[in-house]
Amino acid sequence: MNPRAASFVTAISCFVFLTSCNDRKLLYKPPAPVEPTCPELKEKDDVFPYLVKVVEERNYECFTRIIDDDFFFKFGVDDVGDDIPEGWGREEELKSAKNMFSGYPHPVYGAVTNISLWLTPEGPWIEVPKTEPPYEGETWYQRTVEYTFIALTSNDWTLQCLELRALFYIRYAEVDGDSIWRIVEWRDNI
């Protein structure tokens, strides 16, 4: 056998040996999945930059951290009607966010492909001592923001909420052994 043919046979033999190996870990080991790094929520003023970042990045895992277990979203008066309720809780908010962030296709609009969110706080955080159970003794904080939300979709729709106002209530809560600020109530289009 000439040297060129011998090299070819050796190369093919090596290829067959490597591709028939039962232990695929020897051939390729994908990198370990990277856990999402969520921004800090140690200060009240971290809340709005955090919300903007995780919504624009469509980072569902980090979004779940900022939404309090007792979260309530109240729709604007003009939004309520037909199939839109007066408000919803954490479960519905997270389901809505998951659909929006994951590319779930809406029958008319299609899937969300890009989100832009601007939040402009108005005034300082206002202390709200809670006196009713089960929150008696807690101190929440409220702040109004002007916001613009724009979502682009796969069916060439642009969904816009331009220069509206919302009222946020936040509280300090324990999450997975970490004390962070979380949104407990969001009143839209006030």
- pLDDT tens, position by position, 71-126: 999 998 888 888 888 999 999 999 999 999 988 888 888 999 999 999 999 999 99
Residue at 22 is within a domain: no
What is the percent of the chain where pLDDT is above 70? 81
Within-domain flag for 62: yes
Asked if residue 4 belongs to a domain, the reply is no
Indicate whether 14 belongs to any domain.
no
User: Is 93 domain-assigned?
Assistant: yes
Q: Which of 77, 81, 94 is nearest to 190 (CA)?
A: 77
What's residue 78's pLDDT? 80
Look up tokens 């832009």; give the residue. 116
**114 vs 151: CA distance, rounded Å:** 6
Taking the alpha carbons of 8, 10, 12, 15 in that order, is the dihedral positive or negative? negative
Domain count, the chain: 1
Report if residue 18 sits inside a domain: no
Residues spanned by the domain of 53 = 40-187
Residue 128's CATH number: 3.10.450.50
- Mean pLDDT, each 10-residue run in order, the chain (190 residues): 39 33 41 66 96 96 96 88 89 94 88 95 96 93 97 93 95 89 93
User: Does 7 fall in a domain?
Assistant: no
Residue 108 falls within a domain, yes or no?
yes
What are the strands, taking DSSP E only, across the chain? 67-74, 87-89, 112-129, 139-153, 158-175, 178-187
